[in-house]
Amino acid sequence: MILETRAVGPFFKNGFVIGCEDTREGIVVDPGDEVEELLAAVAEHRLAIRYILLTHAHIDHVTGVAAAKGALGVPVGLHEADHFLYKAVAQQGQMFGIRVDPQPEIDFFYEGAGPWRFGSYGAWVHHTPGHCPGGVCLAVGRDGDTKRTLFVGDTLFAGSIGRADLPGGDLQTLLRSIRDVLFTFPDDTVVYPGHGAPTTVGVEKRTNPFLI
Ligand SMILES: [Zn+2]
Ligand SMILES: [Zn+2]
């Protein structure tokens, strides 16, 4: 699996380029302010991007959607329960004192688990509300292989959990999403959060102070 992570200020939110090394097809996950770096990684790996997939619609995860869609010309997917946040991206920006350009309309809402395929890989979508109503985990892996890599947005971080005090957030729902969805993956499953360093399911089960 080809995987590139980029993050820039002010939010230092991770954007991802994920690709199939055999077919050079790929996806872009959560393009934000680092979108030009993500597009450079797409070009560097000579990837044909199939989809732009969003883990949720908070401002830091969507400010690069217009530029990514403009450059790549591919559909953008989001969970329908976060559409209200996506449509309010300009107001989200005002809360931070940031002017945000309008973003293009979402092309499709996730229906069921998918997968959304790129080459011999797929991104299976698992609804993980709590940080926001439409938060999802993208479980990426090869067809016929049970191993998955998780892109969890702001649900779970290395040693921490996502905020539950933003509009539509709920702490008990967040903890349930982590325990009943993310922690059902094997302990050696690698987890890429929306901010900060990667971790694994097993490490967070054993050491995350919010979950032990
Ligand atoms: Zn968020
Ligand atoms: Zn975030």
Closest listed ligand to the CA of 155:
1
What single DSSP character describes residue 55?
S
DSSP 110-159: --TT--EEETTEEEEEEE--SSSTT-EEEEEEETT----EEEEETSEETT
H/E run at residue 4: strand 2-6
Residue matched to tokens 């990426």: 140
- From the CA of 144, how far away is ligand 1's center (Å)? 32
Rounded to the nearest angstrom, the distance between the alpha carbon of 153 and the centre of ligand 1 is 7
Query: Which ligand has its closest atom nearest to the C-alpha of 132?
Result: 1
Q: What ligand has the least distance to the C-alpha of 195? A: 2
At 89 the pLDDT is 94
Backbone angles phi, psi at 66, to 5 degrees: -60, -45
| The pLDDT of residue 54 | 98
Would you give the end-to-end CA distance of the chain in angstroms?
31
Query: Please, what's the b/e burial string for 102-113 (b: 16 or more CB within 10 A of its CB; e: otherwise)?
Result: ebeebeeebeee
Ligand nearest to the CA of 57: 1
pTM for the structure as a whole: 0.97
pLDDT of residue 155: 98
Q: What is the C-alpha separation between 98 and 142, in angstroms, rounded?
A: 39
Ligand having the closest approach to the CA of 174: 1
Q: How far is the CA of 172 from the centre of ligand 2 (A)?
A: 19
Q: How far is the CA of 56 from the centre of ligand 1 (A)?
A: 7
* Residues, CB within 5 angstroms of ligand 2 (ion): 13, 60, 154, 194
Nearest CA to 91 out of 57, 53, 67 is that of 57
Task: Using the mean position of ligand 2's atoms as its centre, give its distance from the Cα of residue 82 in Å.
Answer: 14
Q: At what angle do helices 35-44 and 65-72 cross, to 10 degrees?
A: 30
Cα–Cα distance measured from residue 56 to residue 194, given in angstroms and rounded to the nearest whole number = 10
Query: What separation in Å is there between the alpha carbon of 62 and the centre of ligand 2?
Result: 10
pLDDT in tens, the chain (212 residues): 999 999 999 999 999 999 999 999 999 999 999 999 999 999 999 999 999 999 999 999 999 999 999 999 999 999 999 999 999 999 999 988 999 988 999 999 998 899 999 999 999 999 999 999 999 999 999 999 999 999 999 999 999 999 999 989 999 999 999 999 999 999 999 999 999 999 999 999 999 999 98
